[in-house]
Amino acid sequence: MAINTKLSVAAHILSLIGMNPDERLTSEIIAGSVNTNPVVIRRIMGMLSRAGLVRTSPGVPGAVLARGLGEITLLDVYRAVQADEELFAIHDNPNPDCPVGRNIQGALDTAFSRAQRAMEAELGEVTMEQVGLEIARGC
């Protein structure tokens, strides 16, 4: 099981738009760069729009950044696409008759919460402008 890729796709979208400020890139063009279906791009673009990271116009293809890449952190992007999803989830309905099943959620909850906060703190330190600079350098 892998953590879903919405965050990396959203960062890809924002980077591509930011590196092409004079163009309104369509979902088809962006999908070509991401190597996915344009429907996936439109879905994530909608999330970015609702979060105020991009602006779209009805009847006009493409999107523009709602603010500069230096004002958008990876945490902003994460929150836009992950909604209320936690990085770590505890499986549903462990067996309450088993001592492990009865106690696993409490045993993992603190560690998972600390890891979530640490990850969010790290993402809050990285701007999309920094990501763009790494892309331009060829990592």
Domain ranges of the chain: 6-137
pLDDT at 86: 74
The DSSP output letter for 127 is: B
Answer whether residue 1 shows pLDDT above 50: no
Nearest to 62 by CA among 45, 50, 87: 45
Within 10 angstroms of residue 71's Cβ, the number of other Cβ atoms is 13
Class of domain 6-137: mainly alpha
Answer whether residue 85 shows pLDDT above 90: no
Mean pLDDT of 19-45: 94
- Rounded to the nearest angstrom, the gap between the alpha carbon of residue 60 and the centroid of all alpha carbons in its chain is 24
d(CA 41, CA 26): 9
> What end-to-end distance do the CA atoms of the chain give, in Å?
27
